[in-house]
Structure 1
């Protein structure tokens, strides 16, 4: 428990400054000192400049006020006044010109240095910011979507501002549920200011507390509590984003104001369903993807013009069919992914995310010209969109431009340095570009960030196989979680490593399981057959994969197929995929 040393109000440990008077909160009981000894001061049409702690008047007063002078300590004594005045009258007359000159000089000098000081202090413009995951005070995981979604939405809106660097969601989510010092967060994320908050939902009532802190000085810039209805969630989110922009003293163009205040849906209920969909999409398990699709569909029924909901649905279908997670055919899933992206673009042609989703679906379809066109359009709309750079990098891998792919995925990682999926695929980009040792090092770093992240384990196993470290690959795979998704993704490398280490029977057993699975990866089977030295069966598996298209988009650059490249059958497969030899 923390308390304000000024007013004694109690706060939970996540708050740093008092909402009443701006004082820094302390652990333990209040000091009991009461009000400060400083002069009571109010502000004329002003708010605290960035880096300055607001006074009580700044937090609560919006009308014109003025400096309230302190009451005089004591009245001057009047005894002997008459005689003293008479004796000093002549001397005072003589001293007045000199005194006036001295005062004038002091004013000029003080004004000069005051200007230098305050202009310097005021020039500490905040150019970068991090929005921390909001604390869910309901202690109910079912409402995490709301606290996570509110922070994510603020990040999305503030990212539209051209002169403000905003840490992406993937970078800030690692701080969720942790008590971390603001200065440490700012140092690790390389930002000037930090926004934190907490959220409490009781039935239809919603309480949101937000505070903006200059991390360089640890001073509170602004704090506010919003007590609203759930039906006011959209308007409140826009209001918070607008207020933050004002407190940061960011000047917006007309276009900037429109982006900040843009209404993506007219339905608060649809927006809440969308937030739920985003929450499950980020988790990407089979069950989560199905839940995400359901929430997006329900949001769209309430607001058929909700472009972002269509974008989320497109990503969910693409992710599901790319990993064979969803309970329908590849062609059906691809068609749904494309249709959702097309609808999003029809609603909002200037939404970069919609074009990125479209390019992703085209890449899975092996429609390379359209994939490139859509992804370039996304980058034209938003050059700082990490997802657009990332998926463009995956496209470049597929068509054999591995050096350019490394550049694009590195750019994505620079924009979202804590995105595990991007970090993991950067390892793949290095491996496809034949930078094998660098790829292995990158895969190890990503795995160390989160050993439970399955894609990190996937790419490290692949890196071990490319670098012919089969014992390490087997150890890594055999220690993996036993869930269906993990085992399916790692099966190819398990079989490949078993075959390369002489464990032929175990490799063949894995092949039997793969071919019995209706959602098996043709490339996985071909990889194991190739390791067993059975080229004809490897090509037969790839032929089967031409009808399903899944998981074959990078065979052109995969080092594990290098000894098949001189075979005319391999070149024919690339031709049928629309890829240059």
Structure 2
């Protein structure tokens, strides 16, 4: 019995089957590589590579059978003659070591299989969140071609609505409005825009509005060479604007050769309002809310309310209100017990109207995190949000903040980097990237995104402050002073960031100056987490813990971030600090 495997191997070699297998496998790999290279330039369907692989596998079986039966000789193709001496050959070679050629052939076969496997099976499965370069797009603001040139916001709204529709396609990476619209009014080559945003395709267009008549032109352009892949012109009544947006979105998906799931097409064509003016009010409010300044938050609330006056069942209006109310305690110092009930009521109404909108679950997760300290509930809501709308950058941004709060820094970085991939020129998302790196004690990595934030928005709240803290950790005192001074200049309240000046003095050894700042903060009854950080830095642990415990009793939103702030490192292991972490539910 032991002779049989060896006999079979010898017969395979005699009939040259092994050589045929190696040659066929090598040729197959070359063919698959060639298909992979030409697939994008020739716009081949996504399934082409796998179809060729199946055909090659089928041909492999046929080739092996034929190579066993026939042999190629100088006289042509002849049937291989059976041998009676195989057993005798086996006896002679049984005690011999394997030949080098046998080993080389085996290694070559293994290498070809190893190289081919990831090319075929792992192309789109190595990471469930990874999206093909080919399936990436930015929608630029549509140009206003109207005679009076007074339809700019209408044009922006149309482009933004197409963005929102496309984000519902799971495998399509769609750049968010903030980044795509940063090129508005600039005469920049499509290749440059593609490189800046990291996308393979751009959708651009124009709108001409005359009375109740619309002429909308859209065209899809490949960024690598500027080639036009598709274009269409729509001449419709103004009341058909939502239908035009849906048709453009569906045409883009078709041109990119993507197959829509039923639920994806349903979400693309799902209309949340038929009131164009209500929709425009919402878009104005959302755009202003993204600036994150106190006055802007209140202005956005007014726009969301106006949208709801025009359509009381417009779910996005309630979602906008919920987001704005939830941001008030952090950016406008509004008491939590005043702002959060309004946020809860707004998001409850939104979900009552429509529970299939991803943005609503993102807002729900944010409120559960900030207002309820319900970490599991927040994670569940964020998971639902990215499931319903995989292209919504804000959902990943807030999801990342949740993980940072929980001290899960690797997961936090993964989420906020996903948000950055979808919205690379967003000031707030770049700032959050810096926040997470800072909280991870990666100060060098934190500096670049914070600087990028300030290039995009020079007075982005907390950006100068966090950059100052990074410089401080690196003992770059002049730079730290400069950044915290700029933060104070940008903010209404000059006391903002005063504790950072105290921390700078502590690290420089100027303890008396730091104590003066702490005394000033106490005199003004400033008892936030920043003041607590300064207390701990000065060794005033009892004062620091009293502030944190009072923040916990008052359900102060800023106390939930103490799990990750570096300036709490010197007290993090103390039982009193750990008890506070457990009370918050972050243990």
| TM-score, with length taken from structure 2 | 0.69
**Aligned pair 1:526/2:532, yes or no?**
yes
Retained in 2: the 8 A contact 1:134–1:197?
yes
Partner-residue secondary structure (3-state), 1:194: strand
Distance 1:551 1:148 in 2: 36
Which residue matches 2:191? 183
RMSD of aligned residue pairs (Cα, Å):
3.5
Question: Which residue in the other structure is 2:548 paired with?
Answer: 542
- Match for 1:269 among 271, 277, 297? 277
Which residue among 548, 553, 570 is the counterpart of 2:577?
Answer: 570
Match of 2:500 among 493, 500, 504: 493
1:240 to 1:562, Cα distance in 2 relative to 1, 3 A: same
Q: 1:147-177 deviations in whole A, cap 9, x for unaligned?
A: 4332221111122234433222233132122
Q: Is 2:249 the counterpart of 1:241?
A: yes
**Counterpart-to-counterpart distance in 2, 1:550 and 1:375:** 19
Alignment partner of 1:412 is 2:419: yes
- How far is the alpha carbon of 1:237 from its aligned partner? 2.6
Q: Which residue of 2 aligns with 1:96?
A: none
Distance 2:217 2:400 in 1: 39
Asked if the contact 2:137/2:202 (under 8 Å) is kept, the reply is: yes
Matched with 1:335 is: 341
Q: Which residue number in structure 2 is paired with residue 297 of structure 1?
A: 305
Map residues 193-342 of structure 1 onto 2, 5 A cutoff: 193-199=201-207, 208-224=216-232, 231-246=239-254, 248=256, 250-323=258-331, 325=332, 328-342=334-348
Residues in 1 aligned to 2:171 and 2:498: alpha-carbon distance in whole angstroms = 46
Cα shift readout 1:450-471 (whole Å, capped 9, x = no counterpart) = 5443443232122123334333
What residue is the counterpart of 1:17 in the other structure?
none
The aligned counterpart of 2:364 is 358
CA distance in 2: counterparts of 1:369 and 1:252, whole angstroms? 31
SS in structure 2 at match of 1:564 = coil
- Asked if structure 1 preserves the Cα contact closer than 8 Å seen for 2:197 and 2:424, the reply is no
Query: Displacement, 1:203?
Result: 7.5
Distance in 1, Cα, partners of 2:540 & 2:210: 63
Choose between structure 1 and 2: higher helix proportion: 2
- Please say if residues 139 and 204 of structure 2, whose CA atoms lie closer than 8 Å, have aligned partners that are also in contact: yes
C-alpha distance in structure 2 between counterparts of 1:175 and 1:437, whole Å = 29
Q: Distance in 1 between matches of 2:321 and 2:301?
A: 6
Distance 1:504 1:133 in 2: 55
Instruction: Please list the CA deviations of residues 171-210 of structure 1 after superposition, one character each: whole Å capped at 9, or x if unmatched.
Output: 3132122110112222333333222234466787766443
- Unaligned runs of 5+ residues in structure 1 are 1-116
Q: CA deviation at 1:321?
A: 1.6
Conservation of the 8 A alpha-carbon contact between 2:518 and 2:535? no
* Structure 1 segment 117-136 matched on structure 2, within 5 A: 121=42, 123=44, 127-135=135-143
Instruction: Indicate conservation of the 8 Å contact 2:361/2:381, yes or no.
Output: yes
Structure 2: gaps spanning 5 or more residues: 1-37, 47-133
Q: Give the alignment's TM-score, normalised by structure 1.
A: 0.70
2:149 and 2:440 map into 1 onto residues whose CA distance is: 42
Using a 3 Å threshold, how does the CA distance of structure 1 residues 162 and 498 change in structure 2: closer, same or farther?
A: same
How much does 1:372 deviate?
2.2
Answer yes or no: is the 8 Å Cα contact 2:167–2:392 preserved in 1: no
Q: Secondary structure at the match of 1:211?
A: strand
TM-aligned CA distance change 1:475 to 1:163, over 3 Å: closer
CA contact under 8 A between 2:498 and 2:517: conserved in structure 1?
Answer: no
- 2:521, 2:152 → 1: CA distance? 38
Deviations 1:68-108 (A, max 9, x none): xxxxxxxxxxxxxxxxxxxxxxxxxxxxxxxxxxxxxxxxx
1:51 is matched with none
Pick from 460, 463, 473: which aligns with 2:467? 460
Say yes or no: does 1:386 pair with 2:307: no
What CA distance in whole angstroms lies between the structure 2 residues aligned with 1:239 and 1:384? 19
Question: What is the aligned partner in structure 2 of residue 377 from structure 1?
Answer: 384
**SS class of match (1:319):** helix
Other-structure match for 1:53: none
Residue 149 (str. 1) matches residue 154 (str. 2) = no
> Is the CA contact (8 Å cut-off) linking 2:215 and 2:234 kept in structure 1?
yes
2:354 aligned to 348, 357, 360, which one? 348
Moved more, 483-492 or 135-144: 135-144
In 1: Cα distance, 2:411 partner to 2:40 partner? 45
Taking the aligned partners of 2:264 and 2:360, their CA distance within structure 1 comes to 20
Sort the Cα spacing of 1:429 and 1:162 in 2 relative to 1 into closer, same or farther, 3 A: closer
Q: How many residues align?
A: 460
Determine if the alignment matches structure 1 residue 561 to structure 2 residue 578.
Answer: no
Name the structure 1 match of 2:97: none
Tell me the distance in 2 between the aligned counterparts of 1:509 and 1:174.
40
Check whether the contact 2:288–2:300 (CA below 8 A) recurs between aligned residues. yes
Shift of the 291–473 alpha-carbon distance from structure 1 to 2, 3 Å rule, reads same
